[in-house]
Amino acid sequence: MLQSIRSPADARAVPAEQVPVLAAEIRRLLIDKVGRRGGHLGPNLGVVELTLALHRVFESPRDRILWDTGHQAYVHKLLTGRVGEFDRLRLRGGLSGYPSRTESEHDIIENSHASTVLSWAYGLATGYRLQGVSDRAVVAVIGDGALTGGMAWEALNNISAADDIPVIIVVNDNGRSYSPTVGGLAGHLAAIRTARGFERFLDGDTTAIPSSTPSLDDPPETFFESLGLTYIGPIDGHDVAAVEDALRSAVRAGGPVLVHCLTRKGNGYAPAENDTADRFHAIAAVDPDLGCPLPAPAPSWTSAFGEELARLGDRHPEVVAITAAMLRPTGLAAFAQRFPERVLDVGIAEQHAVTSAAGLALSGMRPVVAVYSTFLNRAFDQVLMDVALHRAPVTFVLDRAGITGDDGPSHNGMWDIALLNLVPGLRIAAPRDRHTLRAALEESLAEQHGPCVVRFPKGAVADMIPAIAQHENVDILRHGPRPEVLIVSVGPMAGLCLGLAERLEELGMSATVTDPRWIKPVRHGVMSLARRHRLVISVEDGIEGGGFGSLLVRRLHDEGLTVPVITFGIPTRFLDHGSRNEVLAECGLTVENITRAITRHTAGLEPVGAP
């Protein structure tokens, strides 16, 4: 049946009694395709019936269905004519793992940072009202986890006061973001579920579910009703007919309406349902039947950080870890298991995480804020004005810095160096292996006079890339026989830079490779090495504009050095998804491409290897 779905109109044409069959087919396809390729499995298993109901009630793309975060839009993609493309999900040139406007007219926004969809909906609906457009609905689907974010609350404040703007908010309440949702809102939603007979729903017990939707007069009054929103729910989000009825009621109500749907993350797949940690939120390839990883993953930067932080926690009782609803993805599980009272989960609220870390530092604690690099972008003002201005000794650990690859443009952590280079008094470390990661963490916790950043990429971590010498606190990874080309490597680019030096040697150019480990401010040892060489190369996995290379060029200029510098980094543009190596190659960050650029640069000069 799924193969015949070419558009949402086909889904609307399916007889009601056949919808459960279609839902089962979708679930089987997700388990097979996502399980074998990797991706966001649990969230999509949880919204199969909910997505079917949305597309059977509303007429996309005329009606605007907006997805918060977007990683739960796989079912939406299947129902909008992309079944045949699922074999290339998250592969180079294939389907994005998030809504993508270049893929389909049904993907209205490319939204993959959480808690933003209600602002999108408010703006769209307001724009339509001002233009006199009244024949299209604006539907925003947001999870209970994303409702912990500040932007969502700000938008709710506006939407609830706009009686003439018919925004329909669908809350996909599964009690989780990556892990169980925290905070007062989570408690309030739990109270609603309990008062209305759904107390055991999220655990899979459907025996107590009411046979019909309770009346809106049933206690307790919800927070949403107190704001002035019409509230409908809770609804069994796995009952397509019930969700359809609720959505049609929302359309008839007019004005802003909130439809509260209860779903179970990973629903219908035993390995996900039994995984109490994150319900298979995002997975690598697994055996679809058993849910076991294929193959066993190599040690990652994330796990190495987690182990090192737990070790440091034993020695430093003042260390407190902060997560924005991503305890396991950022490697804090080991620390939390050992020191549960020293972990703060603030929900999807990066701004709050950063300023509360400043407060912790002011009290005498040593906060470590662990966050994906791309998400620190959301809290730049807090880093600048609340942490750096106060010289608060906060350590920011940026996972998935540089190119992440298959998650696409929204998740590449390529902006951090350029953004943070603007922050006075902030230091940035870029370790190249586990050994230098440990050293960077220890040094950052010893810093008393301001914030530090430790950044590392997604993927496997090298155990050790040894330095053969040190020069003024800068690691030398390779000595060239003559002081001709100096290659300055940033963090995980060390392997590429060593390969580059070998290739240049083959072409008759003597190359020395150095790794400063701390890249902001530029270390004096890098400057003194640059004085001795005829050409300086910098290689980084951040954007070129304003990155480490730019900082190095400016520092050389300020000191009156005229040595030529060629900087290599990521171009300042949004990059399509693909493997990390594929995207790096697209950016020219390969031995071959950099070698060609260097030889072109030196072609008009005196041969570098000449006496």
List the binding residues for thiamine diphosphate: 71, 112-114, 145-146, 174, 269, 350
Secondary structure element (H or E) that encloses residue 597, with its range? helix 591-602
Amino acid found at 406: D
* Residue in 33, 265, 342, 517 annotated catalytic: 265
On whether the CB atoms of residues 247 and 168 are closer than 8 A, the answer is: yes
Distance between CA atoms of 517 and 432, rounded to whole angstroms?
7
Q: What share of the chain is helix, strand, coil (3-state, %, to 5)?
A: 40, 15, 40
State the CB neighbour count (10 A cutoff) for residue 589. 21
Phi and psi dihedrals of 454, rounded to 5?
Answer: -120, 120
Distance between CA atoms of 83 and 57, rounded to whole angstroms?
21
Nearest-5° Cα angle at 249, 248 to 252:
90
Tell me which residue of 454, 438, 453, 529 sits closest to 538, measured CA to CA.
Answer: 529
600 is catalytic: no
Annotated binding site: 71, 112-114, 144-146, 174, 269, 350
Distance between CA atoms of 469 and 394, rounded to whole angstroms?
31
Distance between CA atoms of 279 and 272, rounded to whole angstroms?
5
Annotated binding site for Mg(2+): 144, 174
Distance between CA atoms of 258 and 595, rounded to whole angstroms?
58
Residues 6+ apart with CB under 8 A from 530: 486, 536, 556, 561, 563
Bridge partner residues of 110 (DSSP): none
State the CB neighbour count (10 A cutoff) for residue 211. 5
Distance between CA atoms of 86 and 39, rounded to whole angstroms?
12
On whether the CB atoms of residues 268 and 237 are closer than 8 A, the answer is: no
Distance between CA atoms of 368 and 373, rounded to whole angstroms?
14
* Residue in 27, 279, 342, 378 annotated catalytic: 378
* Residue in 49, 110, 273, 350 annotated catalytic: 350
SS (H, E, C) 396-459: EEEECEECCCCCCCCCCECCHHHHHCCCCCCEEECCCCHHHHHHHHHHHHHCCCCCEEEECCCC
378 is catalytic: yes
On whether the CB atoms of residues 456 and 401 are closer than 8 A, the answer is: yes
Which positions are annotated as active-site residues? 265, 350, 378
